[in-house]
Amino acid sequence: MKQYYSDYLQLDRILNAQKPVSAEHGTEAHDEMLFIIMHQVYELWFKQILHELSDVLSTFGRDRIDEKQVGIAVSRLLRITEIQKVLVDQLSVIETMTSLDFLEFRQLLAPASGFQSVQFRVIENKLGVLPEQRMRYDKQPYYAHVTPDHQEVIREAEESRSLFDLIESWLERTPYVEFEGFNFWESYRQAVDQHFQVDRDIIHANDRWSDEEKEVQLKEVAGNAAHFSAVFDKEKHEALIEKGRWRLSHRATVAALLIHLYRDEPILHLPYRLLTVLVDMDEWFTTWRYRHALMVHRMIGTKVGTGGSVGYQYLRSTVEKHKVFTDLFNLSTFLIPRSALPPLPDDVQQTLGFFGDRAK
């Protein structure tokens, strides 16, 4: 059977899915059409994000993950980041609608709100936003303002293993943290101690600083060293997790740090790309939330949102609280210069590289 463009894309259904409510109350508000189409387009992109994300979750949900599968997962996540850029850019289109234009139909929308976007809630849950991280209003759970059927969909996503959970498990299985005769963690700790000692020696040798200035600089070095000690000490690390200041397990954190430090080794380059695109994805969602909050502030000021939330203030508060991979952002705190890294033994480099004999 030959396909026809309009039928294949079901354009009759899509192009007749815009029903401005203002038209039902007399005169149709011109900009309501833009408002509807923008949100429909967002939901279509959310559907594609979920499509890509589900495939990545399936990959990392397996007991064994080979390098080829990781490469495919990276390509899926990169596609999501490209979609996210579009999501941010689209806000410029809706900002062509002025506040007065929006007021022509805004009251007719209540209590409907973007807060009720089931797909976006599912995306957040599949990424790994924790229930206790979420902002609340009306002292009710975030899913309380959708239908019972939609609540079930959201809760199911909340209770399933998230991308954060699966990435943590994958990192914990990283086999490169210890080799026979080479313990990365111990070698790295010695390199960090040497790095801080060099800083102290430079401060002591600086004749241009007074004793008071040297003391300030030495306290700064001591503070940085104390920050590192929380990562080197498993018990301190677990205490930070208990306090909600860290989320990745100690084992996963060590693996992620090794991947970042030795990213130039061929076998670690793809894992590094994976960790990088996770940060990119989290950053783009954070950017989108912030831009969305600014757009709402510009459009309605400090009015209460149509869904009952405190509009701009609520959206602004989600910018940081709903980040998922904050620990990967924080890894930069624990990096030291390449020149200070402990050199890898030859046999370890052979394991982490791709070597072959030249054809004779």
Region 271-286: mean pLDDT is 96
User: For residue 189, is pLDDT > 90?
Assistant: no
Quote the number of domains for the chain.
Answer: 1
Q: DSSP secondary structure string, 33-61? A: HHHHHHHHHHHHHHHHHHHHHHHHHHHHT
Judge whether residue 22 has pLDDT over 70: yes
The 10s digit of each residue's pLDDT in 144-170 is 889 999 999 999 999 999 999 999 999
Average pLDDT over residues 260-266: 88
At residue 358, the pLDDT reads 40
Token duo for residue 226 = 């104390």
**pLDDT tens digits, 197-254:** 988 999 999 989 999 999 999 998 888 787 778 788 889 889 989 998 899 999 999 8
In the prediction, which pLDDT does 355 show?
44
- The pLDDT value recorded for residue 180 is 63
Give the whole-angstrom CA distance, residue 74 versus residue 27.
49
Residue with tokens 């229930």: 131
> What pLDDT shows up at residue 347?
73
More confident residue, 186 or 163: 163
The Cβ of residue 145 has, within 10 Å, a number of other Cβ atoms equal to 19
Alpha carbons 182 and 178: distance in angstroms, whole number: 6
Per-residue model confidence (pLDDT) at position 356: 40
- Judge whether 213 lies within some domain: no
Greater confidence (176 vs 56) lies with 56
Q: How confident is the model at residue 177 (pLDDT cuts 50, 70, 90)?
A: low
Q: What is the CATH number of the domain that holds 139?
A: 1.20.58.480
Contact criterion met (CB below 8 Å) for 236 and 230:
yes
Average pLDDT of 56-82? 93
Q: What is the mean pLDDT of residues 165-179?
A: 83
Q: Read off the tokens for 227.
A: 């920050």
Dump strand ranges (E) for the chain. 178-179, 182-183
Domain assignment of residue 93, yes or no = yes
Look up the domain containing 81 and give its range. 10-177+234-333
Q: Average pLDDT, stretch 26-46? A: 96
Question: Helix 118-127 to helix 148-159 angle, to the nearest 10 degrees?
Answer: 10
pLDDT at 357: 42
Distance CA 349, CA 266 (A): 9
298 vs 151: CA distance, rounded Å: 31
Residue 309 domain flag: yes
Residues whose CB is less than 8 angstroms from the CB of residue 39 and which lie 6 or more positions away in sequence, other chains included: 114
| Mean pLDDT to the nearest integer, 320-337 | 89
Of 311, 322, 321, 308, the closest CA to residue 146 belongs to: 308
Quote the DSSP letter at residue 177.
Answer: S
Range of lowest pLDDT (11-20, 175-184, 228-237): 175-184
| 182 within domain boundaries | no
DSSP β-bridge partners for residue 178: 183
The whole-number pLDDT of residue 303 equals 62
pLDDT band at 128 (very low <50, low <70, confident <90, very high): very high
Is residue 255 domain-resident?
yes
Q: What is the pLDDT of residue 49?
A: 98
Flag whether pLDDT at 290 surpasses 80: yes
Q: What are the Cα distances from residue 69, in Å, to 52, 87, 274?
A: 14, 27, 11
DSSP 170-199: HHHT-TTSEETTEEHHHHHHHHHHHHHHHH
User: Has residue 310 got a pLDDT over 60?
Assistant: no
Contacts with 121 (C-beta within 8 Å, 6 or more apart), sequence order: 142, 143, 146, 154, 157
Is the per-residue pLDDT at 263 higher than 80? yes
> What CA–CA distance (Å, rounded) separates 231 from 94?
45
Q: Is the pLDDT of residue 262 over 50?
A: yes
**Residue 347, domain member (yes or no):** no
Examine the pLDDT at 8 and tell me if it is beyond 90: yes
71 contacts: CB under 8 Å, gap ≥ 6: 270
Task: With respect to residue 343, please indicate whether it lies within any of the assigned structural domains.
Answer: no
Residue 355 CA, distance from chain mean position: 35
Average pLDDT, the chain: 88
Higher-confidence residue of 137 and 342: namely 342
- Is residue 3 in some structural domain? no
The pLDDT of residue 308 is 46
Q: Is the pLDDT of residue 19 over 50?
A: yes
